[in-house]
Amino acid sequence: MQYDKKMHNYKIVTLSVLLIITFSIQITSTQLVLNCLSKIEEFSLINSQNSCNVQNILNIYEPNTEIQDVDGQADSYTALLIIDKRTEFLPSNLGKKFINLIALKVLEGRLKEVRQNELKSLTNLQYINFDQNDIEFLDNNVFDFNLKLKVIWLGGNKISYIGNSIFDNLIQLNNVDFRNNTCVSTSQMNLKKFNFAALNLIKENCSNVQAEANYLFCKSLFVNTENLNLLQKLEDLKAKSAEIDRNLNASQQEYKKYKKDVDSNELQRSTDLKTLAKNENQLKQNISILKIQINLLNRRNDNLTGPTTSLRKNYTDYENQFTKLNANSSKVAAKYLETREEHIKYAQNVDNIKQQLSSATKENENLKTKLERLNSSQNESSNDDSNWWTKLILLTSTALIVAISTTIDVFISFKN
């Protein structure tokens, strides 16, 4: 079904292309660009005009040739001058590009004819000069839309026929020049002053029965020539159509082969799709489980937020207490240094006292020795006197020793 639909669409596209090609052959339109040199030009019987003097070669060999672009502001030009030996037809869209055109000059070219559709949109045209071209005929209706024409110069062409009523509606016409044409010689025209006699002479010579017959004959030849060209293009189109049909048949064969391969792999693709669907369901389940776990983690995080705040507050309190303790520690350290210095002084005093005690002990030993000597030397002294002095010495020594020991104990206790 899809194959038939695609083939139907392909045929429609092919037919559309053929129709477009056929239509384009009938209205062949080649685009061109005009390079203008802006210049103020003088024109007979009308005011000076801002002219676009075309500088490039146009090479207009086909009718219905369109101007693609104009160098500069086209609507600012009121005159157009073309001097080109390769110009055989006027551009078909002059009036669309040069909307304010008043004067038109095409000189020394190869214009073969002037068509109504080329001048139709130039409704403000007052001046035409097509001197030195190859124009052979002028139809009755060629100037039907140019009713403001004042000047028509077509000298030096090959005109052999002019429509009988071509000038009837041109009520502002006051200057014509058709000299050096097939139907008008130089001696027949005196254009120092415009007169209707000269105009009637043009009609008499160029609009008679014989001239019209020649015109119709040549016109038919021209039409036949165009028809032959169209027939040739039609044959070319048929040849292209046959080639397209061959390519289409080849494409059909290739598509059938491709469709066969696709059908053979259809089952495998179906299996793959089922597997993918199964994997997709499993992934969805895993994602659901992950979402549940994420929710649990979020709840735990919320529960941890409260204790964290409390710990931060306690930490702040501890930090303040530590700061206070650190300040007190500095004071205690200073006090400790002062106490240590006092302890050093007290230790020095204790050392001095110990030295004194040692000296006293030695003196006590000396006194004991002396006392023994006294006892031995005074054996004969009375017992009362001897005992009294002995007791006195012993009491004095004992008191002195006790006082020194007490002082030492006090200093040691204070030091500890």
Q: Which helix (H) or strand (E) holds 128?
A: strand 127-129
Here the tokens at position 363 are 């003196």
CB-CB contact of 68 with 31 (8 Å): yes
Are 276 and 227 in a shared domain?
Answer: no
> First vs last Cα of the chain: how many Å apart?
115
Q: How confident is the model at residue 228 (pLDDT cuts 50, 70, 90)?
A: low
- Give yes or no: residues 153 and 292 share one domain: no
Pairing type for strands 137-138 and 79-83 reads unpaired
Q: What is the Rg, in whole angstroms, of the alpha carbon atoms belonging to the chain? A: 68
Residue percentage of the chain with pLDDT more than 90: 16
What gap in Å lies between CA 109 and CA 82, rounded to an integer?
Answer: 8
Residue 187, token pair as written in the block: 């001696």
- If one compares 370 and 149, the residue with the highest pLDDT of the two is 149
Higher pLDDT, 47 or 130: 130
Shared domain for 216 and 277, answered yes or no, is: no
Q: Which of 132-136, 206-210, 227-231, 285-289 has maximum average pLDDT? A: 132-136
Domain boundary among 187, 219, 234: 234
Would 239 be classed as within a structural domain? no
Judged by average pLDDT, the poorest of 189-203, 323-337, 340-354, 393-407 is 189-203
Residue 74 structure tokens: 């086209």
Same domain, 224 and 325: no
Q: Mean pLDDT lowest for which of 154-158, 284-288, 338-342, 393-397?
A: 393-397
More confident site: 272 or 25: 272
The answer to the question of residue 362 being in a domain is: yes
Q: Are 176 and 196 in contact (CB under 8 A)?
A: no
Q: What is the pLDDT of residue 214?
A: 65
Token pair 């002084």 is found at 345
Per-residue confidence at 26, pLDDT binned at 50, 70, 90? very low
339-358 pLDDT, tens per residue?
Answer: 777 778 777 777 787 787 78
Residue 147 sits in the same domain as residue 8: yes
Number of domains comprising the chain: 2
Chain-centre distance of CA 221, in angstroms? Answer: 59
Residue 221 has pLDDT above 60, yes or no: no
Q: Are 98 and 149 members of one domain?
A: yes
Name which of 75, 145, 261 is nearest 269 in CA terms: 261
Going from the C-alpha of 254 to that of each of 5, 186, 264, the distances in angstroms are 16, 73, 16
SS3 content of the chain, % helix, strand, coil (to 5): 60, 10, 30
Based on the fold, state whether residues 229 and 313 are members of the same structural domain.
no
Give yes or no for residue 30 having a pLDDT over 70: no
Among the three residues 178, 207, 234, which one is the final residue of a domain in this structure?
234
* Res. 215: pLDDT tops 80: no
Distance in angstroms (rounded) separating the CA atoms of residues 298 and 250: 65
Distance CA 203, CA 1 (A): 71
Residues 319 and 400 in one domain: yes
Pick from 2-16, 167-181, 323-337 the range whose average pLDDT is largest.
167-181
Assign 41 to helix, strand or coil.
Answer: strand
- Is the residue at 246 inside a domain? no
Residues 184 and 95 in one domain: yes
Reduce the DSSP state of residue 81 to 3 states and report it. strand
Report if residue 244 sits inside a domain. no
CATH number reported for the structural domain that contains residue 42 in this entry: 3.80.10.10
Give the type of residue at 357. L
**Torsion from C-alpha of 177, 147, 85, 76, nearest 10 degrees:** 120
Query: Is residue 224 domain-shared with residue 311, that is, in the same domain?
Result: no
**Is residue 287 domain-shared with residue 179, that is, in the same domain?**
no
Cα 234 to Cα 127: distance, rounded to the nearest angstrom = 41
Does some domain include residue 261? no
Q: Are residues 282 and 156 in the same domain?
A: no
Domain holding 299, by residue range, is 269-415
| Helical (H) or strand (E) element with 321 | helix 266-377
| Range of weakest confidence among 98-102, 201-205, 398-402 | 398-402
Residue where a domain stops, chosen among 234, 261, 283: 234
Is residue 258 one of the residues assigned to a domain?
no
The yes-or-no verdict on residue 281 having pLDDT over 50 is yes
Render pLDDT for 55-90 as a digit per residue (tens, 0 to 9). 888 888 888 888 988 887 888 999 999 998 888 899
* pLDDT tens sequence across 162-205: 988 888 899 998 888 888 898 887 655 554 445 666 677 788 88
Q: What is the DSSP string of 207-268?
A: SSHHHHHHHHHHHHHHHHHHHHHHHHHHHHHHHHHHHHHHHHHHHHHHHHHHHHHHHHTHHH
Would you say residue 6 lies in a domain? yes
What's this model's pTM, rounded to 2 decimal places?
0.49
Residue 44, classed as helix, strand or coil, is: coil
**Res. 248: pLDDT tops 50:** yes
The answer to whether residue 259 is domain-embedded is no
